[in-house]
A and B are shown apart, each in its own frame.
Chain A
């Protein structure tokens, strides 16, 4: 199993540009989530999904959209990038939506918005 994969590894955007961060998992996990990691702030939840067709907002959802059309994929869209969205983005998945479940993280995407 490849686990959780993320593409691209690194991206530079100009303010106002749009892009999609890809996340895929091959473990048949129900629950998937997106976090951003900023210095001194730990990981903050952006959006999450408890199954295909179901998404919900986390702590910092503004400026981001998600969809979950398949169990495997959970893309994160930035419609109009802003410098405040410069961050490292992590996708994670766990087997079920139960809160005792272990989360498996992807390697991250480093995004720089100029």
Chain B
């Protein structure tokens, strides 16, 4: 069975500070990895994904994530937080069985 662990259900950063949201996965085979963002009262939308190739993936709104197989991690970063980044972020994984598995989410608060 696959699982996704997001460390920290709530993260607060100051505007302009580094954003780091952590995601670790368990998978017996190489996974596909995703980060989605959910703004209040909306559905999820894709930020970025890793399928194959370069392990550093760049997404929308200045976010990026690095796939580290040795650490089974796919942490999301952004160099400088903006007020509009306040949202809930979900890490997800898939590899076999036609199913996607989501983490429990991290709520990001940006302090002005």
Per the CB 8 Å criterion, the residue count for chain A at the interface is: 26
Residue from the list A33, A45, A100 in contact with B51, Cβ < 8 A: A100
Which chain B residues numbered 87 to 112 have a C-beta less than 8 Å away from chain A? 90, 92, 94-96, 98-105
Asked whether, in the complex, the Cβ of A42 is within 8 Å of the Cβ of B104, the reply is yes
Supplied contacts A4-B43, A33-B100, 11 more A-B pairs, CB within 8 Å: A40-B104, A43-B44, A43-B90, A45-B100, A97-B98, A99-B32, A99-B94, A99-B96, A100-B94, A105-B44, A106-B43
**Chain A residues whose CB sits within 8 angstroms of the CB of B102 once the complex forms:** 35, 42-44
A residues near B, CB below 8 A? 4, 31, 33, 35, 40-45, 48, 50, 56, 58-59, 90, 92, 97, 99-100, 102-103, 105-108
**Residue B46 at the chain A interface, CB threshold 8 Å:** yes
**Residue B42 at the chain A interface, CB threshold 8 Å:** yes
**Chain A residues whose CB sits within 8 angstroms of the CB of B45 once the complex forms:** 105
Asked whether, in the complex, the Cβ of B32 is within 8 Å of the Cβ of A105, the reply is no
Asked whether, in the complex, the Cβ of A99 is within 8 Å of the Cβ of B49, the reply is no
B residues near A, CB below 8 A? 4, 9, 32, 34, 36, 41-46, 49, 51-52, 90, 92, 94-96, 98-105
Cα(A17)–Cα(B16), bound, Å: 50
**Chain B residues whose CB sits within 8 angstroms of the CB of A97 once the complex forms:** 98
Cα(A4)–Cα(B92), bound, Å: 20
Most chain A CB atoms below 10 A, which of B44, B49, B105: B44
